[in-house]
Amino acid sequence: MRILNGVLLALMILFAAVQYNDPDGPFWAIVYGVGAIWCGLAAFRSGIFASTPPFLLYLASLAAAGFGVVWYWPTTPGWWKQEVWWETETAREGMGMMILVIALLAAGLVAIRARRAA
């Protein structure tokens, strides 16, 4: 799980970095930055999840990301096709939220294991 969360950490940092020319880039950089923080903690400081306040903060982040998936769900037909998401900003935003939730769920597996061990 450490390798998976490390890869997801790098992916979230990369996603945050490429937001420099997006009109709403600061928002998305923060969103991906939150994912990077949780993946980084899961990869390198998993014991932090044994404490209740960080775990509750993680759950709040996961709930917010879940809400974001619903909010940004792409309505463009065929949004999963490259020719659509390459051109349509809303499809990319929705897919980004989906990837964020997957990254947070991977961190959550580590969090649950850390809480059971404590």
Residue 4 makes CB contacts below 8 A (sequence gap 6+) with 106
Q: 98-118 in b/e burial notation, b at 16+ Cβ within 10 A?
A: bbbbebbebbbebbeebeeee
pLDDT in tens, the chain (118 residues): 899 999 999 999 999 999 988 889 999 999 999 999 999 999 999 999 999 999 999 999 999 999 999 999 998 888 888 888 888 888 989 999 999 999 999 999 999 999 998 7
Q: What pTM value is reported for the model?
A: 0.93
